[in-house]
Structure formats: C-alpha cells, structure tokens
Amino acid sequence: MRLDLNKYLADRFHDELRYKESQGPVITISRQTGCPAKNIAKKLTEKLTEKMEVRGNKLQWKMITKEIISESAKALDVDPARIKFILDCEEKGFLDEIVASHLSKYYKSDRKIRTTIARVIRNIACEGHVVIIGRGGVAITHSIPKSLHISLEAPIEWRVERISIKQNLSINEAKKYVIDVDKKRKQFRESFEGKNNDYTWFDLTFNCMTLSEDEIVSIITRTAEIRNFI
C-alpha cells in the first residue's frame, strides 16, 4: 500500500498541535485489588467539579472506566470482548494467535490492540478534566505536564477480607483472586513501559486501610489545587 506522504505529514502536524494545545489536566488512579478506586474516583470528580463551579468554570470532571473498551473496539472494528481480554491481561499461546489470525478476516494482533488502547487513553487524557481508573494510565499519560498519578494500596489481609465479603468467596478463594488480579494489572501496566520503569511510579500513594475515602479525596483535591488543575 502506497503511503500518502501529504496526508501523513498533515496528520502528524495535527496530532502535535493538538498535543501542545491540550495537555490535561488528568488524574490516573491505579489500585491493588480490593481498594475502592471507583468510589474514590466518583467522589473526586464531584469534588473537583464543585471547586471549578465556585470559580465560575462550568467544565465538569469525568470518570473514565469502561469507555476505554468501547472506544478502542470502535477504532479497531473488533468485538469489545476482545479488548476486555487484553485489558484483563489474559495470557494467550502462540498457537491461539495463529489460529485466530486465520479464522478472522478482521483479525487484529494483541500488540495493535494495546497500541490502540494506549492511543484512546492518551486522547481522552489530552482532552483534560478526566480521572482515569487503571488501564495502564500512569504509564501512558506520564509525559502529559498536567497529570497526577495516584496509587491505592492496603495490606493484603484487609483486601482479601473485603473481596471475600463482596464476592461471597472463601478467604482462600479471595486471596487467590486478589493475587491473580494484582499480577495481571501489573503485567498490563508494564506492557506499555517495561518492568521497573521509572514512568510507572506514582505521585501519591494512599493506604486505604488507614485512610477513609473522603480523606483520600480531600488530599488529592488539595494537590490538584496546588498544581492549578482546577
């Protein structure tokens, strides 16, 4: 397929211009399994929006979770379930990859799916005033000047107990689930930047066992104010 150089250069110029003009603000929240990321993100977007309204700004902060799956699926023209498969960081053998490529006319490789997910997340982040939960957000948006990266952690015993109650699992089942999901989330984040990369570090880390959701939201909100996000 012949490259349309003019279109390529025009698209690149447009992307670079857009990047310079739109650089957040964005807040990413990564969490260990069992930490209340969605509750905190919901309260945070409401609090940030309230702060902006007081200042006469009508822009609203949004929480981004499942939208990433649908937008990535739309961009690739594939079943959203395939995107979720990659987001969940399921392992797939080489033979499965070959079979899938021959069975589907619209086959897309895992690498292409990850690249598209990263592009979707970055585009959303560049629009600004968003809180992105998980999905490798810290690795993908670290270079955006107005970005703040949060990590929610807690002792495993505390998290296991919460998962056990929430999902009606035995303690042993809940512990296996927590360890497995934590591993997959770490693998997904590292798939964008590599293991132990400085770009997967966080700005603020909170212990969800000792700090309430409201306390965490207040600290993040104050940090956002100091950094002129609102």
| 139-191 per-position pLDDT tens digit | 888 889 899 999 999 999 999 999 999 999 999 999 999 999 998 887 777 76
Torsion of CA 39, 45, 51, 54, to 10 degrees: -120
- In a domain, residue 6? The reply is no
Euclidean distance between CA atoms 161 and 159, whole angstroms:
5
- In a domain, residue 19? The reply is no
Euclidean distance between CA atoms 224 and 146, whole angstroms:
9
Euclidean distance between CA atoms 161 and 103, whole angstroms:
43
Q: How many domains does the chain have?
A: 1
Could you give the angle at which helices 80-87 and 110-127 cross, rounded to 10 degrees? 90
18 in Cβ contact with 122 (< 8 Å): no
- Expressed as residue numbers, the domain containing 115 is 26-226
39 in Cβ contact with 213 (< 8 Å): yes
Its pTM stands at 0.74
| 81-111 per-position pLDDT tens digit | 766 665 555 444 444 443 444 444 444 566 7
Which helix (H) or strand (E) element contains residue 178?
Answer: helix 171-193
- In a domain, residue 204? The reply is yes
What is the CATH classification number for the domain harbouring 98?
A: 3.40.50.300
- In a domain, residue 11? The reply is no
φ/ψ of residue 186, rounded to 5: -65, -40
Tell me the CB-side half-sphere exposure of residue 122, using CA atoms within 13 A: 18
